[in-house]
Amino acid sequence: MTEQAIGDVLLHLRWTVPDDRVPGFEAWYDQEHLGDMVDVPGILGGRRFARIGNAYSSPSEFNFLTLYQLAGDGPLSSDEYNRLSTDPSPWTLEVAMGLDLSRTVFEQIRPVEREPKHPVGPAIFHVLMRADAAVEDDFTRWYDEEHLPAMLAVPGVLGARRFHAVADDAGFGVHPAQADFPYLAVYELESLDVVGTAEFRAAGKRTPLRERLGDSIAAHVQTYRQVFPESGAYEGR
């Protein structure tokens, strides 16, 4: 099974890239930018994804996603990291300027005990969620005691991690598309076909506790295909 090194913190970037700019964006990211990011001490690795439309897809303008594994939030205040934005390369200026970007820093909340490695597949099921303050405790109980175990029992779901947003870059602010969804769950899939199985659909059926939560919780759901690297995580040049 392919694994990646993981940390307590996840840097989560969603990009909106017009069709005519996609080739340049992908070349820049895969040949320069991802490597520059992973060279920052404390950034353990990165993976880049493309959005896949299916029956679970919430409306979204973001067509690309990058996830970076961080050993704490220290790397994001380092000189090496800050230079990537204060002294961008000519290629960065040519390709990335003007693209819509949602940047969020998440902290892992489940599993509570973090292993140094986590299984990864060629696709992920990506769920952003919010819960009204009045139902926060019941939401957590439903997710951790009912929903997460049901999803992990689905054949082809390799693993899952759950996160809570802790920060947005002051330079970017809180993107309107992110503001209402402070929770994130990332499910690693052995293939894109997993989301079409009867077992996957059954895991998402509402339990009595979920029914009681009603519209007090909401989700923004996507499926992503990993596009770089070809497998696993990019963990250094």
Instruction: Return the HEC string of the chain.
Output: CCEEECCCEEEEEEEECCHHHHHHHHHHHHHHHHHHHHCCCCEEEEEEEEEECCCCCCCCCCCEEEEEEECCCHHHHCHHHHHHHHCCCHHHHHHCCCCEEEEEEEEEEECCCCCCEEECCCEEEEEEEEECHHHHHHHHHHHHHHHHHHHHCCCCEEEEEEEEEEECCCCCCCCCCCCCCCEEEEEEECCHHHHHCHHHHHHCCCCHHHHHHHHHEEEEEEEEEEEECCCCCECCC
Least confident among 31-35, 111-115, 120-124, 196-200: 111-115
How would you classify residue 123: left for phi > 0, otherwise alpha for psi between -120 and 50, otherwise beta?
A: beta
**pLDDT beyond 60 at 104:** yes
Q: Where are the domains of the chain?
A: 3-228
> For residue 26, what are its two tokens?
């992908």
Cα angle 232, 169, 20 (rounded to 5 degrees) comes to: 60
**pLDDT beyond 50 at 21:** yes
What pTM, to 2 d.p., does this model score?
0.94
**Average pLDDT of the residues in 221-236:** 95
Residue 14: band (very low, low, confident or very high) from pLDDT cuts 50, 70, 90 = very high
Say what the alpha-carbon torsion angle 150, 151, 152, 155 is, to the nearest 10 degrees. 100
**pLDDT beyond 60 at 174:** no
Q: What is the pLDDT of residue 237?
A: 65
**pLDDT beyond 90 at 115:** no
CA distance 173 to 102: 9
Q: What is the pLDDT of residue 106?
A: 93
Q: Which amino acid is present at 28? A: W
**Average pLDDT of the residues in 36-57:** 96
Q: Find out if CATH 3.30.70.100 is the number for domain 3-228.
A: yes
Average pLDDT of the chain?
Answer: 93
Considering the chain, what percentage of its residues have pLDDT values greater than 70?
94
**Average pLDDT of the residues in 184-200:** 97
Backbone phi, then psi, for 114, in 5-degree steps? -90, 125
